[in-house]
Amino acid sequence: MNSQQLRTWFRTIEFFKGKSGWYFLSPDGLAVGPYVTERIAQQQAAKLAKTLHRLEGQRSTRDAVLEFTIDAYAAG
pLDDT at 76: 62
Total-model pTM? 0.81
> Could you tell me the CA-to-CA distances from 27 to 12, 33, 56, 76 in Å, in that order?
10, 14, 13, 23
Mean pLDDT by 10 residues, the chain (76 residues): 84 94 93 95 93 78 86 73
- Alpha carbon 7 to its chain centroid, in Å, reads 13
